[in-house]
């Protein structure tokens, strides 16, 4: 089993810092000691971003490619993968990724966008199992 960590672009750090700043402003200016429930709507999106940030990973195990990013989970039979498009970005569709310039994985009529820390390492792991994959 090989595990590949996600490329965590700087954009995610900016989002989390912005939410932390928002919570700080709410606490310091608008919340009295008995009204902390006002913070909950600001903390929930922050928790979702933190969950996504720390849970995104990719795994190659037993002829399957597994991806996970918060509530997005799935597995792809590596023998059904037809094409890899490295250093591209998919702007719509299934994107268990945190950065741009990742890999678009095409299998059948479906496609998934992933962004590992090193595109070449993931592509090599997939090509070792299925050397018939076309790389564009």
* Structural domains of the chain, with CATH: 1-135 (2.30.29)
Which of the four pLDDT bands, split at 50, 70 and 90, describes residue 78? Answer: very high
- 40 pLDDT band, cuts 50/70/90, is confident
Q: Where residue 100 falls among pLDDT bands split at 50, 70, 90?
A: confident
pLDDT average, residue stretch 51-64 = 91
The pTM assigned to this predicted structure is 0.81
pLDDT score, position 124: 92
- Cα→Cα distances 129→27, 53, 106, Å: 53, 29, 16
Q: Which of 136, 63, 59, 69 is nearest to 105 (CA)?
A: 136
pLDDT at 30: 64
């Amino acid at each position: 089993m090989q595990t590949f960590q996600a490329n965590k672009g700087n954009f995610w750090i900016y989002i989390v810092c912005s939410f932390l700043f928002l919570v700080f402003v709410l606490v310091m200016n608008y919340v009295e000691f008995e009204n902390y429930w006002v913070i909950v709507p600001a903390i929930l999106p922050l928790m979702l971003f933190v969950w996504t940030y720390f849970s995104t990973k990719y795994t190659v195990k037993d002829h399957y490619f597994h991806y996970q990013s918060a509530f997005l989970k799935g597995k792809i039979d590596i023998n059904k993968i037809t094409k890899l498009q490295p250093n591209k970005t998919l702007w719509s569709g299934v994107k268990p990724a945190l950065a741009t310039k990742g890999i678009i994985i095409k299998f059948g009529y479906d496609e998934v966008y992933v962004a590992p820390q090193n595109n070449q390492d993931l592509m090599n792991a997939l090509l070792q199992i299925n050397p018939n994959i076309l790389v564009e």
